[in-house]
Structure 1
């Protein structure tokens, strides 16, 4: 599903090369000035593969250099990205300590050739954080490695509680409330990443986890959430603003996942019960995006 939003160039704000298309007339030859035509901005949902690439990319960035880390707010806004896709990050939030950090404002420069992909709000579950210590309030009889299906189930229950979704470009809201389900994207397969040896944003290294649990295949997970992809942004300055809220207290924690006849005797049930005791977490991000030509952008990295 792709929607197109037409944004016309402003003669006062943009310099551009005029393109003329000649056409014949019975009376004389005339030209048509196409320089004032509008360019469509395309808004769509990214593929599950791209959402996985987003997580793999940012989880491998050291915490001290990672724009997703709350302590880097106002200091680090972006990471170098020279491919055809430019990821705009949200905020990395440990689900055991959810909260609302308030409005996060960032400024980035991107190339006109790049697609912009961003999570409005998302939930991811990986193996590492639960392999060794078990779940809060749950005494596991043995370390439990969550299966992909168990991870997907937890994510689904969390994202089902999301409210307050909004996405705007240059002050105009682009997605109607009834259309948001078209922008929900879940992993179709696990993402993987290499945990940095030091300065790890997940704080897995140096925690209670033995090294054997912080290596692949354990460092994998899946995500679910609401995502937006933008294409064909015109050269110049743009404002992107998005927000969404996860309401953990609304999670359905009455699920008998393993059909045992009791609730709380399976790690999935225990984690859902724990999450349902938490409050809500709101993500509010405003990006000032400077779009430059592909040539100018690539020269930044020479």
Structure 2
């Protein structure tokens, strides 16, 4: 079964009961760390660096999104009011949308790395014979149909030719969904994700605009499209200088 990206957010102080949030370096705490492992593409424009997002980080992002009830979910946020739920210190998880257009406004600290889902899908077990391998195949079939990707940062347009290098398959993970969540409450295991992700470093202090998304048409002719505009204020007097 599939569950497409949409809208919502989270913060370390809003854990779902009994859930765990892993840091990217494997520690069981809430301080996400942004260590690029040397794999995958990255490129620069002025001071902005666009980089690869690890499979572990995309799993963490989905655990984060699925941990919130609908009323507090950043994926469903239409203004940016819940965006700070994605603030993990050095790393800031940016919410997507389950489909359609949305515009949000929020602030981040200078030096934070933004993790952005251009377009993705999550696939989770609903039948006894579902396996991580079969779920990966289903998710890959969906993402294989992506026709175009969009990333525009402060007027700079990044081409499809570059963005199609940023596909990431998640590690296998489990997700705990609370009552009132975007799925029926319970623990889902296994879960996998596939899609296109980028991380952004080096936004200038002050006002920035990031537009991102993508589209695809499935075998039945149904179109799935994501178009997001984030008006991001980078606050210079709050900063993370140790990116590594």
- TM-score if structure 1 supplies the norm length? 0.62
Runs (4 or more) in structure 1 with deviation over 6 Å come to none
Which residue number corresponds to residue 56 of structure 2? Answer: 49
* 1:294 CA displacement: 6.0
Q: 2:115 aligns with which of 108, 117, 120?
A: 117
Q: 1:154 to 1:85 in 2, by over 3 A?
A: same
Cα deviation, 1:49-75, whole Å, max 9, x if unaligned, reads 111111011110221011212xx4237
* 1:179 CA displacement: 2.0
* 1:145 CA displacement: 4.0
Cα deviation, 1:214-244, whole Å, max 9, x if unaligned, reads 33xx433111111111011111110000121
Which residue number corresponds to residue 78 of structure 1? Answer: 83
Question: Following the alignment from structure 1 to structure 2, what is the Cα–Cα distance between the partners of residues 278 and 295?
Answer: 47
Which residue number corresponds to residue 235 of structure 1? Answer: 205
Bigger proportion of residues as strand: 2
**2:168–2:194 CA contact under 8 A, matched in 1:** yes
* 1:199 CA displacement: 1.8
Give the structure with higher Rg (CA).
1
Question: Following the alignment from structure 1 to structure 2, what is the Cα–Cα distance between the partners of residues 5 and 221?
Answer: 35
Q: 2:223 aligns with which of 275, 280, 298?
A: 280
- TM-score if structure 2 supplies the norm length? 0.75
- Is the aligned partner of 1:5 residue 2:45? yes
Which residue number corresponds to residue 156 of structure 1? Answer: 140
**1:66–1:76 CA contact under 8 A, matched in 2:** no
Cα deviation, 1:136-183, whole Å, max 9, x if unaligned, reads xxxxxxxx3411110110111111110121100012102x22223311
Which residue number corresponds to residue 37 of structure 2? Answer: none
Superposed, 1:108-187 pairs within 5 Å as: 108-127=106-125, 130-131=126-127, 144-174=128-158, 176-187=159-170
State the Cα RMSD in Å.
Answer: 1.9
For structure 2, list consecutive stretches of 5 or more residues without a partner in the other structure. Answer: 1-40
